[in-house]
Amino acid sequence: MTRLVVAGGNAAGLSAASKAKRRNPGLEVEVLEAGPDISYSSCGIPYLVEGQVEDAGHLLVLSPQDAAERGLQVRTDSRAVAFNPYTKEVVFEGKGRGRDSVHYDKLLIATGAAPRNPFPGGGLEGVFAIRHLGDGLRLMERLQAEACDTVAVVGGGYVGLEMAAALQARAGEVHLLNRGPRLLSSMDADITDGLNDWVEEAGIQVHLNADVKRFGEGKAGQLGSVEAKKPLGVDTAIVAVGVQPATEFAVKAGVSATKEGHILVDDQMRTNFHDVWAAGDCVAARHILTGRPTSVPLALPSNRMGRVAGDNIAASTESIPGPSLYFPGVIGTAITRVFGLAFAQTGLTEQACKAEGIDCVTALIESKSKAAYLPDAADMAVKVVAEQGTGKLLGAQLVGPEESGLRINAAAVAIHAGLKVGKLAEVETAYAPPFSPVWDPLIVAAEQCAREVRK
């Protein structure tokens, strides 16, 4: 019997395990998960904290029982800490179980990424770096015990903003400390214009250019302050300054990775070792536009990579492997809600093009979200980025009322299709007064951008 060991029991790991078992039911599949839960929606934690999700159990996509019904063996509290690609052993350990090892015929590394928490004092009671469902639950307990009076959220990116908004609904006072001069800095400055005021008007105290140095101790072992320019007394802090791949054990074993530790894979999720695959947030996949290995630690690419890996792992057990899935690469589509506004992006921003040395043209247009004569027509803005010379669409960004957020998907399709902005401007989009202006803002931006392209 062939044994597949999956290190990591979340989106990529469970997608892979399920897919592999479906394609080859004879496969013995063992999932090693470091935490106590498998397959939960970590993106849902802010909504749990905010109180929109009543029961943390709702965030579980798959219970261990569900996994067992799919024929998967799951060991929680089992962190992979080493593996030997020659003897094909994975070593794992857990608080409750000590150290153990297991033989694999096929290995998938799907250990994800862990929140960065580089600050001295980051281990104090009251400091949270949200990753596991348990982190969310501990924060909930703290809220229920009314121990969150003054909260600092460190980091003004997607996760920081979502957590700040969630806590604003529950805690006394929320401070958002952002290292740089503006929030959501993965987007271009012109599209996030006004975001700072918007967040402050919602009641968050925003500290820009706040270079957090450390967390200070209050009562013994307890968080008492966060120290940036000057110390700020807080009882609770959320650290949301990005993630790092949990791949140390794999890199030590010789798996090829970027210098940040993201594992390098081909489009079937194979690593440099025979019989070893990798998928999910721990991987740098090919960026469709730049061709470069790029980490997009988001749910959809992780799930998709997992499925591709599982399919290819099962195919590798076939005497004559049948056709199998491939991973198309990433473009970096993301969306978030900030107090009733949607911010969304896909592909490359103007600033990313500059960093990559890509000569680009852009257009930013302001529009109403629906027919201007309707009382709930709201302001929105769309920015389009295209390659100079060819006019190929490289990216789009938008801000607008919540219901306008998914307009970004039309641009994502256009990027995957390799459309030029002039061609995107020809699309017959949907119009009715409650949904859109006659000329869809994305179409208008694409048309304006096409005029900037040098013939």
User: What distance in Å separates the CA atoms of residue 141 and residue 160, rounded to the nearest whole number?
Assistant: 20
User: What distance in Å separates the CA atoms of residue 234 and residue 31, rounded to the nearest whole number?
Assistant: 39
User: What distance in Å separates the CA atoms of residue 198 and residue 229, rounded to the nearest whole number?
Assistant: 23
Contacts with a copy of itself: how many residues (CB under 8 A)?
A: 67
**Least distance in Å: CB of 181 to a copy of itself?**
25
**Least distance in Å: CB of 281 to a copy of itself?**
14
Q: Which of 25, 65, 322, 373 binds a copy of itself (CB under 8 A)?
A: 373
Q: Which of 71, 134, 218, 328 binds a copy of itself (CB under 8 A)?
A: 328
| Whole-Å CA distances, 395 to 114, 223, 413, 414 | 28, 42, 11, 9
Q: Give the distance between the most distant pair of CA atoms in the chain.
A: 71
Per the annotation, the verdict on 449 as an active-site residue is no
Chain-centroid distance, C-alpha 435:
29
Q: CB-wise, 355 or 417, nearer to a copy of itself?
A: 417
- Burial of 69 from C-beta contacts in 10 A (0-12 / 13-18 / 19+): exposed
One character per residue 389-428, x = contact with a copy of itself (rule: CB under 8 A):
-------------xxxxxxxxxxxxx-xxxx---xx-xxx
Residue of 410, 365, 414 lying closest to 387 (CA atoms): 414
Q: E strands, 223-308, where?
A: 223-227, 231-233, 236-239, 243-245, 263-264, 276-278, 283-286, 293-294
Q: Considering only 28-36, 233-241, 354-362, 431-439, which stretch makes contact with a copy of itself by CB under 8 A? A: 431-439
Residue of 125, 296, 113, 351 lying closest to 219 (CA atoms): 125
Judged by CB under 8 A, the chain residues 230 through 249 that form the site for a copy of itself are none
435 binds a copy of itself (CB under 8 A): yes
- Burial of 99 from C-beta contacts in 10 A (0-12 / 13-18 / 19+): exposed
Judged by CB under 8 A, the chain residues 132 through 191 that form the site for a copy of itself are 162
92 binds a copy of itself (CB under 8 A): no
**Least distance in Å: CB of 162 to a copy of itself?**
8
Helices (H), 54-194: 64-69, 133-144, 158-168
Q: Which of 442, 444, 449, 450 binds a copy of itself (CB under 8 A)?
A: 442
Residue of 260, 447, 436 lying closest to 361 (CA atoms): 447
SS3 of residue 358 by DSSP: coil
**Least distance in Å: CB of 118 to a copy of itself?**
26
53 binds a copy of itself (CB under 8 A): yes
Q: Considering only 46-54, 198-206, 313-321, 349-357, which stretch makes contact with a copy of itself by CB under 8 A? A: 46-54
φ and ψ at residue 295, rounded to 5 degrees: -90, 120
Q: Which of 102, 344, 380, 382 binds a copy of itself (CB under 8 A)?
A: 344
Q: CB-wise, 107 or 348, nearer to a copy of itself?
A: 348
59 binds a copy of itself (CB under 8 A): yes
**Least distance in Å: CB of 90 to a copy of itself?**
28
User: What distance in Å separates the CA atoms of residue 110 and residue 310, rounded to the nearest whole number?
Assistant: 11
202 binds a copy of itself (CB under 8 A): no
**Least distance in Å: CB of 248 to a copy of itself?**
27
SS (H, E, C) 112-140: CEEECCCCCCCCCECEECCCCHHHHHHHH
Amino acid present at 14: L
Residues in the chain: 455
One character per residue 256-285, x = contact with a copy of itself (rule: CB under 8 A):
------------------------------
**Least distance in Å: CB of 72 to a copy of itself?**
19
Q: Considering only 44-52, 146-154, 225-233, 244-252, which stretch makes contact with a copy of itself by CB under 8 A? A: 44-52
Binding site for a copy of itself (CB under 8 A): 11, 41, 43-44, 47, 52-53, 58-59, 162, 296, 298-301, 303, 328, 330-337, 342, 344, 346, 371-375, 402-414, 416-419, 423-424, 426-436, 438-440, 442
Q: Which residues are catalytic?
A: 43
